């Protein structure tokens, strides 16, 4: 592995002109965006919650990388970032999601796609002019260690699954990337050759429920009223089980990101949804980590809210989460922080306090983006809420979540 240090940038390198740098940046941001989408689909589909956590942290890293690259493109004479991508590169990003298992997906997405990014960033850094290309040098030096951490996670993940099937899928993605010319030769566009054949006919579909492994049983979460009847310690335990279940909120946001990424939406919307998805997975982590401190492991989850709305348009899913549910739950936030504080329970108080702050942001995202999407729409947010209520009623369940 080549170290990224001041010494890796040559004093005498000619460097890259604006057109060359812009061509690299457009390709990089396209791969980061593609990985945001692929990871959002697979965080729902992968069964172990620890892997969902890792993938969602990575998804948010990619969102920040794409954002920073797009900001730099705006400063350069860079052209439209999305209209300049070669069809062969589209195909690599399209295909990576169609792995038939989490391990195939991790091998293709992390070892090949993230691997290609790392290779290209290092290649650029070695040839960059230290003052003319300083903005890119600074940017890539921040991105590279994060991507190295993703790849290390993938290597550890794959240690137990190094089989023939995974190797074949990885080879297929590598082949597609090679056909697209890799990432550091954007000016040597390839002619389309014979299309490499996928090793299986599996096509990924965004799941209709949240995949979990055998450790988790469906249901078993108490309502707020039932939790209030318990002793302080029991109530706290039940409350952190409910935090753990925020897996469902993260999955709703991942589904929005997955679907909206192929629609004509501003990147800033995807960026906020990625942020919120990461917040919700952190809230689930609040649950699993606090339960573990209390000597317990998560055993229950309830995907009902995801299942109720996953077939609605992403606009309705976003509206239901941010303007129905998060508004509905908000009244519980301050009393919970005060309750933990009164009991001198700093560990629980810190988590509840940060959760409350995050949720205020989520409602703000909801108001901002629902207003944006309804700008030229005859419907109001109330009309959307009525459509959601009707849909949920037709599916035979109440609008209020059971926890």
Q: Give me the residues that bind Fe ion (CB under 5 A), please.
A: 246, 280, 283, 326, 359, 362
**Residue 65 beta carbon to Fe ion: minimum distance, rounded to whole angstroms:** 23
Contact between 70 and 81 under an 8 Å Cβ cutoff? The reply is yes
**Residue 326 beta carbon to Fe ion: minimum distance, rounded to whole angstroms:** 5
**Residue 368 beta carbon to Fe ion: minimum distance, rounded to whole angstroms:** 14
**Residue 296 beta carbon to Fe ion: minimum distance, rounded to whole angstroms:** 20
**Residue 362 beta carbon to Fe ion: minimum distance, rounded to whole angstroms:** 4
Backbone angles phi, psi at 164, to 5 degrees: -60, -40
135 vs 377: CA distance, rounded Å: 41
Cβ burial of 346 (10 Å; 0-12, 13-18, 19+) is exposed
CB nearer Fe ion, residue 173 or residue 210 = 210
CB nearer Fe ion, residue 154 or residue 325 = 325
CB nearer Fe ion, residue 280 or residue 285 = 280
Q: Which of 65, 64, 59, 68 is nearest to 105 (CA)?
A: 59
> What is the full DSSP assignment across 148-172?
HHHHHHHHHHHTT---HHHHHHHHH
Residue with tokens 């649950």: 287
CB nearer Fe ion, residue 37 or residue 283 = 283
CB atoms within 10 A of CB 231: 8
**Residue 260 beta carbon to Fe ion: minimum distance, rounded to whole angstroms:** 17
**Residue 112 beta carbon to Fe ion: minimum distance, rounded to whole angstroms:** 33
CB nearer Fe ion, residue 58 or residue 283 = 283
Q: How far apart are the first and last CA of the chain?
A: 48
Long-range contacts formed by 54-58: CB under 8 A, 24+ apart? 54/153, 54/157, 56/250, 56/254, 56/277, 56/278, 56/281, 57/278, 57/281, 58/150, 58/153
CB nearer Fe ion, residue 179 or residue 246 = 246
**Residue 321 beta carbon to Fe ion: minimum distance, rounded to whole angstroms:** 7
Contact between 98 and 50 under an 8 Å Cβ cutoff? The reply is no
CA quadruple 156, 157, 161, 163: dihedral, nearest 10 = -70
Element (H, E) at 218: strand 217-218
CB nearer Fe ion, residue 121 or residue 286 = 286
């Amino acid at each position: 592995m080549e170290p990224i240090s001041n010494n890796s940038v040559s004093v005498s390198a000619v460097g890259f002109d604006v057109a060359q740098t812009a061509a690299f940046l457009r390709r990089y941001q396209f791969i980061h965006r593609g990985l945001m989408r692929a990871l959002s689909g697979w965080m729902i589909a992968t069964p172990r919650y620890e892997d969902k956590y890792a993938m969602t942290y990575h998804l948010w890293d990619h969102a920040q990388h794409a954002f920073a690259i797009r900001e730099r493109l705006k400063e350069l004479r860079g052209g439209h970032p999305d209209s300049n991508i070669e069809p062969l590169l589209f195909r690599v990003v399209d295909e990576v999601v169609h792995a038939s298992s989490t391990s195939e997906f991790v091998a293709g997405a992390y070892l090949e796609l993230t691997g290609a990014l790392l290779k290209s960033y290092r290649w650029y850094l070695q040839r960059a002019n230290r003052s003319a290309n300083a903005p890119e040098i600074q940017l890539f030096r921040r991105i590279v260690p994060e991507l190295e951490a993703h790849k290390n996670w993938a290597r550890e993940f794959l240690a137990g699954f190094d089989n023939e099937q995974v190797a074949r899928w990885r080879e297929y993605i590598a082949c597609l990337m090679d056909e697209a010319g890799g990432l550091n030769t954007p000016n040597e566009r390839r002619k389309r050759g014979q299309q490499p054949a996928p090793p299986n006919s599996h096509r990924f579909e965004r799941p209709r429920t949240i995949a979990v492994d055998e450790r988790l049983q469906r249901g078993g979460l108490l309502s707020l009223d039932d939790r209030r009847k318990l002793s302080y310690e029991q109530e706290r335990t039940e409350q952190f089980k409910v935090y753990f279940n925020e897996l469902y909120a993260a999955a709703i946001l991942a589904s929005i990101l997955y679907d909206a990424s192929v629609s004509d939406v501003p990147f800033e919307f995807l960026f906020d949804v990625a942020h919120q998805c990461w917040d919700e997975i952190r809230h689930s982590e609040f649950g699993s980590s606090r339960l573990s401190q209390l000597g317990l492991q998560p055993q229950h989850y309830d995907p009902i809210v995801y299942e109720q709305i996953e077939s609605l348009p992403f606009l309705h899913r976003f509206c239901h989460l941010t303007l129905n549910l998060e508004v509905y739950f908000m009244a519980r936030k301050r009393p919970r922080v005060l309750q933990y504080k009164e009991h001198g329970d700093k560990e629980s108080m810190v988590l509840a306090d940060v959760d409350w702050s995050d949720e205020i942001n989520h409602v703000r995202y909801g108001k901002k983006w629902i207003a944006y999407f309804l700008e030229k729409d005859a419907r109001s947010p109330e009309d959307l809420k009525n459509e959601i209520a009707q849909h949920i009623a037709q599916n035979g369940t109440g609008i209020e979540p059971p926890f």
